[in-house]
Structure 1
Amino acid sequence: MVITYLEKEGFTVIHAKDGEEALRIFTLESFDLILLDLMLPKLSGMELLRMIREKSLIPILILSAKDGEVDKALGLGFGADDYIAKPFSMIELSARVNAALRRANYHVNAPEDRRRNIIEIHELMMDVENLTCSKKGQEIKLTSKEHQILKLFMTNPKKVFTKEHIYQTVWDEPYYGDENIINVHMRRLREKIEDNPSEPQYIKTLWGIGYRLGEF
């Protein structure tokens, strides 16, 4: 059903029946987006996600019938860009796919002078062009969403961001009040950039309002 619908929408779709086949195809061909089911035979979706993320920042949308915040947090923490719970409508899937492709295309085609920016805040340094981040000279491996969230704060050091603003800016979609996806990404990001995630210094929480970059 998914393949038929996306092909009618104008996409070229290549399907893998299990995780091992998916990994083999990924190493042989070039793609713009991956739709990844977690329940795969031979090689699990989570393991496949981890292996792909070691080599590529390609947008990855997880599809899963599993419920619970733990499953979502684990999937997003492993580096997925978005999470679509089954059952879902084809219209929702198409909207998520197009939004992910727009975001990826924006980064690829951003003006050269903008992509070459190197942003430094205290001990953090972000290379916007190469989508890399380091702290005290040590590389920090961020997912594409974590990178976009951190970039949002580092390029707007005096601004306060609500969860709605963060979601609409980073995900490029309307915000319907689901705070979980923001909370998960913010927690994972803090675990990577903060000395003590329980007492964050780089991204401060303004209770009842949102977040802002810390002052140094």
Structure 2
Amino acid sequence: MSWVRISQQKQDSLSPRKNNRRLITDQLKIFSTSSNGNQTDHPKWDPGFTIVEVLIAGVLLAMVMTAVSRFSLSALVNSRNQLERTRIEAAINDNIQLLQQADSLLTFDSIPSEDEQQYACNDPPNYLKEQIIERSGRQYVPAPTLKNESNKKLINRTVNTTAAEEIAIIIYSFEGPGVAKVANNNSAKLLHDTEMQNHTEQRVLELNPNFQARCYK
């Protein structure tokens, strides 16, 4: 009995220590739980983009937009120049067809008198010029009247006649669309090698008088 009492007294003396240990352990668990809860409620702060990064992105975007706008503007200008060139070429082709038609209608039999027939046979190119190029002619074909937005005439038509070759040379001169230098379109001379240097383009038509075949019979 005495031994039982002694062991029971020892257990009673040890119980307060165990209770203290349990209490400390429980408090640590509660603190740990509350700390984790605070971390969940308050996440870490995200810094985002800095001012320098935003400025660099803005500069790059501005450079890209500038390049795109330049390409778009260049495409619009080229399209406009191509449209103007198409209009010029169409006007010249129409006028060439009218001249060829007038030449075919100016036959030897259409010349009213023998004196005029003799005059025509003496100088066929000049007679052809008088009848289809000059306003007083019976088969007059006016020059192209195509103009641009500033009401400037785009095409200049001139005629050269050569009695030796017995042909009439009609020259259509125009300033190439999009060039900066203005050329002298009043010149009736063929440009050939200097055509691109002067930024002037030409279309040439050679007319052989239809009636002159009867002059040699």
TM-score (norm. length: structure 2): 0.20
